[in-house]
Structure 1
Amino acid sequence: MSVKQAGNSVATAMAVTSELLESYDQLDISKRQYLGYVLVPAVALFGVTVLAGLFAPLPLAARVPIPMIGGLAVVSAVVYPKIYLSSRENHIDNQLHLVMTHMTVLSTTNIDRMEVFRTLAAEEEYGVAAEEIGRIVHLVDTWNQSLDDACRRRAKKVPSEAMGDFFDRLGYTLGAGQPLEDFLVSEQDVMLSQYETLYESSLSNLEVMKDLYMSMILSVTFALVFAIVLPILTGNDPTAMVAAVIVLFVFVQLGFFVAIRAISPHDPIWYHPEERSPGDLKLWGSLVLGGVASLLLIGITAAGMFGYGPGLPGLLFFLDTVRLPLYLAVPITPLIVTGFVLRREEQAITARDEEFPSFIRALGATESAKQSTTTDVLTTLRDKDFGTLSPAITRLYRRLNMRISTEGAWRAFSRDTRSYLIQKFSEMYLVARRMGGEPKQLGELISKNMSAVNNLREQRRQAAVTFIGLIYGITAAATFAFFIGLEIVAILAELSADFELDQMDIGQIIYPGAYDIPLIEYLLLTVVIFNAALSSQMIRTIDGGNPANGYIHFVLLTWLGALTAIATRTLVNALLTI
């Protein structure tokens, strides 16, 4: 290593250490409390695990990992403040575009600028971002600071760089005398640009993560095939080796699942109201139908395996033999019904989101032009074609026309659409109109922001499609590799039994008797079902959809693995026994 490289490494280490130490200052508790409540117990635990590793009456292989547990606790305690602040930063960045849009909408009304901040601080849904705005309100109301001074002071301590820059610019602008509305309207393009950059950066990171995922899964697959085949030459316990590699496979997939969840943008599609929605009965009915039918098939299969009925062979009477992988795939098949119903509803929500910008822009422009109420405007606007959003618009008009409360009618409109974004932007429009906001300006602001989010969601869907193809390809390739190794070993074991190789010199070269083929097949099928379950949730995490929508991929990936296993063993057996 050159002197320059060594200097760069030292500078990087010092920068990381400095950031870590600064993160301790931004915790909700003091350094002394964190030292006493977290760091000291972690170091004590590490000392206990070291002693246990040295003196525990266990084999060396079992004692070595014990201190690693204590070391992990110490490392976690040391770096937790940095992880905590990074988590808060992500929460703020994911909500910042909605917060700023909401702030801009409120600033166009007739309310005082401090009321804008108080209103946003009360929005629990904004989470950490609302807490930061609440701290500014606290500085103004409790410590009698001016709003611009409070913004500049908080800008230095907010975990998010984007929000800190915004507070800093806002503070200097307000101090110079510019109205809050003018500043926020001019900031919309900057805010959208920052949000798009953040969103696209997350999608780019997901692309890198997909390449890493493919490499790691193929490496673990290679290791698992070796664990299946190698013991026939070494005489080691193949079941223990296979089980150990399967545990590694599970940890690798869990690690990537956690990483993908952390990287993926927080952009929910579904709105989950507290009140009952019109489509709840259909959605819950599909969930009950799929779950009950699946449990029924599991019960029939289990009863047959214990000799209390025809079991799965009775259900699949048209097959000569029911191969073991089918015992895995058939019982979960009814869950696909739930997946398809939720998928159709999610597609409808996405279609409504795409139509909403046109609707809210037309509504605001028409209200401004006619100087009339929303009900009068909807009399003609509801006749226009807004696609899948039209039925909800018609019901909104009827509720308003029946003199139902305006707030209640718009809440029902949000329930009808089931869209998270429509609910948020409809609420912004309603509150701003009630406070005297200009409808045309409100409609244009909301339409512009939602159109930008819709465009980003389309990029996210494309990323999800490529990931789906990757998952299905890896599943088929990995399952093929698993079972081709298993079938080769099974054939060698069968040949050794036929030719009584144990009584010949060749019996010292191969050790087929160490294998429990049915047990290893069970273990490999466990990998198939676990891969299907976790991969389906990875897909849902990347595309931002409802987790229950992943039942489709769960069932299809399980069937893909099962059919690949059956086809592989059948094909290899046919080729090697010719």
Structure 2
Amino acid sequence: MFFDILPRVGLKPKDYILKFILPASVISLLLLILGITYFSGYTRLVVLFLPLLLMGSAIGYPYIELDSQRQKINERLHIFITKFGVLSITDLDRKELMHLLATEKEELGQLATESHKIFVLIKRWNQSLAESCRFLANRSPSSQFGDFLDRMAYSIDSGQELKEFLHGEQDIVMEDYGEFYKRAIYTLDTFKEMYVSAVTSVSFFVTFAIIAPFLLPYDFVTMVTVALLGFVLIEVLLVYAIKSRLPYDRLWHTGEKPTKIDLKLKKWLIISVIGTVLFTLFLLWGKFIGEIPQIMKIPYQIIFALGMSPLAIGGYFAQREENLVIRKEFNFPDFLRSLGDSVSAKGGGMTDSLEYLSSNDFGPLTKDLEGLYKRVSIRVNSQKAWRYFGYDTCSYMIQLFSEMFERCTFLGGNAGVAAHMIGKNFRKIINLRKAKYQSVSQFSGIMYGLAGGMALTLYASAGVANMVNGLYTSLDIPDTMISIVNIITPEDFSLIAYLIYGVLVIYSIVSGYLIKLMDGGHYQVSLMHFVIMLWVASIVGYIAEVMTGSLLGTSLPI
């Protein structure tokens, strides 16, 4: 039943009708009246389509919200099961354990809300943990999480210890998460194909818009502008679709204060922006005002690419730091297992174990371990020391899992068991990320190729249009045919060429952002991808313009 879904997304039928259905119905009725009364033709169809879209959105909202909650649960299930398993080996009772999980909203997201529901059932409704899990399993948006709750309820009823059950569930849930992650990568591959197909199709549409005014009674600039705006709109919609389906898997930390690396990247970003502004202004002044001969010979595509090139500096340094963070993540499980074994062997000597391990080589992580040892040895606040260690590594995963380890040992849990559990799950996540990085790397190459292909197609089409236009202007056209034949002025051709290049610039911006959206890395790296794609598009566009002009005996009037 439709109304059975509403409680699962936190809505009462009355609130849903008053907040969604009723406003949508009123607005839709007003749009219908306005469309029938004041509009006609295609405009009326567009206006009359809006009520259908609005009502469809209102009716489909519960399903969309339910799917969103399912996605949020599945994408953080690996963090939940690891944290749940690690905390279960402490001396916390079950009610306190669920309360602690319910407070971790930043780490667990929707799963913190689900944990809070279990806690409320235990505390306020005097339900056992098994009864609460069984009750929530039938109402969970995620089938994977529901199956986990069913298994937990059965194991508790059968008398199995909670920590034994959760220890055995680590492999099961992590395997389910691995399948979810692989499906997400497969979906990502599907979106890559859609993105390539959409960009290619719209490129041909823009090409048609450049040629069509010679055959149909349409304005050149209007046709090209509409086609290019459609291209930008489709790009934005595709980015939104990809973003909504990608699992939450960020690389960079979420610290409250910027770390030294954050400040360093910010410094290089400011230098890049200032350098870009000054260099671009100098090139524009030299070409259009100062009329420096050497700069005036440079085509406008190369001028703009040169002006934007300093942005690659900030992107390069961000890429370098990002690679270090990835290497730190590869070393973290080995460090944590060594630390857990050492602490267990020494009976709780965390400081001594850190002192010994910080003198060993753990690659880029070694410097951060030295800082961790210095903070822990002061014995002021161990929790903050581990938190700052996670921030200093700049890794979101190290930030989360190192705080899990610290919380477990602080509450009396076995350091060796916790370290092995965290390290094992951490290693599985890293291996899954390798497949994602490889997929994104392949997509990056495709995007660079598309940038060159688009530039070649669009500038070649513009060259052909200029040749046809020159042929028309050289003919002695009778007065009766002048109204039928379209002729483009040099000013319009200049505007069309600039519009084409503007779309290539927008494509480079969107594609650079999309690459970092997919791999979850630092968005400043997208500046480097933007500059590289801009150079590819600029060089290929200029070469296509020159070759088209030499082959067809024309040149764009720029």
TM-score class normalised by the smaller sequence: over 0.9
SS at match of 2:299: coil
Aligned: 1:357 with 2:333: yes
- Per the alignment, residue 345 of structure 1 pairs with 321
CA deviations 1:464-508 (Å, max 9, x no partner) are 0111111111121122111111111123323443x2544589868
- Per the alignment, residue 158 of structure 2 pairs with 176
Give, in angstroms, the shift of residue 269 of structure 1.
0.6
- Per the alignment, residue 262 of structure 1 pairs with 244
Give, in angstroms, the shift of residue 123 of structure 1.
0.7
C-alpha distance in 2 between matches for 1:68 and 1:335: 43
Aligned: 1:71 with 2:65: no
Give the unaligned 5+ runs of structure 1.
1-17
Amino acid at match of 1:190: I
Q: 2:415 aligns with which of 439, 448, 454?
A: 439
Query: Contact 2:516–2:525 at 8 Å: present in 1 too?
Result: yes
Query: Contact 2:286–2:295 at 8 Å: present in 1 too?
Result: no
- Per the alignment, residue 364 of structure 2 pairs with 388
- Per the alignment, residue 15 of structure 1 pairs with none
Give, in angstroms, the shift of residue 45 of structure 1.
1.9
C-alpha distance in 2 between matches for 1:227 and 1:330: 30
- Per the alignment, residue 297 of structure 2 pairs with 321
CA deviations 1:303-354 (Å, max 9, x no partner) are 678x7x43xx65xx53452323245433322211111111111111100000
Q: 1:512 aligns with which of 471, 487, 491?
A: 487
Query: Contact 1:155–1:165 at 8 Å: present in 2 too?
Result: yes
SS at match of 2:241: helix
Aligned: 1:160 with 2:142: yes
Aligned: 1:557 with 2:533: yes
- Per the alignment, residue 112 of structure 2 pairs with 130
Give, in angstroms, the shift of residue 93 of structure 1.
0.9
Query: Contact 2:311–2:528 at 8 Å: present in 1 too?
Result: yes
* Residues 104-253 of structure 1: pairs in structure 2 closer than 5 A: 104-125=85-106, 126-253=108-235
Give, in angstroms, the shift of residue 43 of structure 1.
2.1
Q: 2:84 aligns with which of 90, 103, 106?
A: 103
SS at match of 1:267: coil
TM-score by length of 1: 0.91
C-alpha distance in 2 between matches for 1:67 and 1:327: 47
Distance change in 2, residues 1:502/1:324 (3 Å): farther
Amino acid at match of 2:13: K
SS at match of 1:64: helix
C-alpha distance in 2 between matches for 1:61 and 1:330: 45
Give, in angstroms, the shift of residue 110 of structure 1.
1.6
Query: Contact 2:94–2:129 at 8 Å: present in 1 too?
Result: no
Give, in angstroms, the shift of residue 296 of structure 1.
3.1
CA deviations 1:84-126 (Å, max 9, x no partner) are 1111111111111101100100001122122211111111212
* Residues 407-556 of structure 1: pairs in structure 2 closer than 5 A: 407-497=383-473, 499-503=474-478, 510-513=485-488, 516-556=492-532
CA RMSD, aligned part only? Answer: 2.1
Amino acid at match of 1:512: I
**Further displaced range: 121-130 or 244-253:** 244-253
CA deviations 1:249-293 (Å, max 9, x no partner) are 122212211111122221111113113422233111011111222
Give, in angstroms, the shift of residue 79 of structure 1.
0.6
- Per the alignment, residue 276 of structure 2 pairs with 294
Amino acid at match of 2:447: I
Amino acid at match of 2:97: V
TM-score by length of 2: 0.94
Query: Contact 1:238–1:514 at 8 Å: present in 2 too?
Result: no
Q: 1:378 aligns with which of 337, 350, 354?
A: 354
Amino-acid identity (%):
30
* Residues 268-287 of structure 1: pairs in structure 2 closer than 5 A: 268-287=250-269
Amino acid at match of 2:169: E
Give, in angstroms, the shift of residue 47 of structure 1.
2.1
Give, in angstroms, the shift of residue 297 of structure 1.
4.0
C-alpha distance in 2 between matches for 1:538 and 1:318: 36
- Per the alignment, residue 21 of structure 2 pairs with 39
Give, in angstroms, the shift of residue 542 of structure 1.
1.2
Distance change in 2, residues 1:514/1:80 (3 Å): farther
**Further displaced range: 461-470 or 263-272:** 263-272
Query: Contact 1:271–1:419 at 8 Å: present in 2 too?
Result: yes
C-alpha distance in 2 between matches for 1:409 and 1:554: 38
Amino acid at match of 1:393: L
- Per the alignment, residue 6 of structure 1 pairs with none
Query: Contact 1:433–1:439 at 8 Å: present in 2 too?
Result: yes
Distance change in 2, residues 1:61/1:323 (3 Å): farther
Give the unaligned 5+ runs of structure 2.
none
> Number of residues paired by the alignment?
552
Give, in angstroms, the shift of residue 425 of structure 1.
0.9
C-alpha distance in 2 between matches for 1:456 and 1:501: 68
CA deviations 1:340-399 (Å, max 9, x no partner) are 111111111100000000000111111112324111112322232211111111222223
**Further displaced range: 292-301 or 91-100:** 292-301
- Per the alignment, residue 3 of structure 1 pairs with none
Amino acid at match of 1:131: T
C-alpha distance in 2 between matches for 1:252 and 1:51: 30
- Per the alignment, residue 71 of structure 2 pairs with 90
SS at match of 2:238: helix
Give, in angstroms, the shift of residue 404 of structure 1.
4.1
CA deviations 1:175-204 (Å, max 9, x no partner) are 222111000001011011001000000001
Amino acid at match of 2:26: A
**Further displaced range: 139-148 or 369-378:** 369-378
Query: Contact 1:360–1:443 at 8 Å: present in 2 too?
Result: yes
Amino acid at match of 1:121: A
Query: Contact 2:322–2:521 at 8 Å: present in 1 too?
Result: yes
C-alpha distance in 1 between matches for 2:328 and 2:92: 31
SS at match of 1:273: coil
SS at match of 2:260: coil
Distance change in 2, residues 1:276/1:260 (3 Å): closer
C-alpha distance in 1 between matches for 2:515 and 2:151: 39
Give, in angstroms, the shift of residue 572 of structure 1.
0.5
Amino acid at match of 1:482: L
Give, in angstroms, the shift of residue 300 of structure 1.
4.8
C-alpha distance in 2 between matches for 1:31 and 1:417: 47
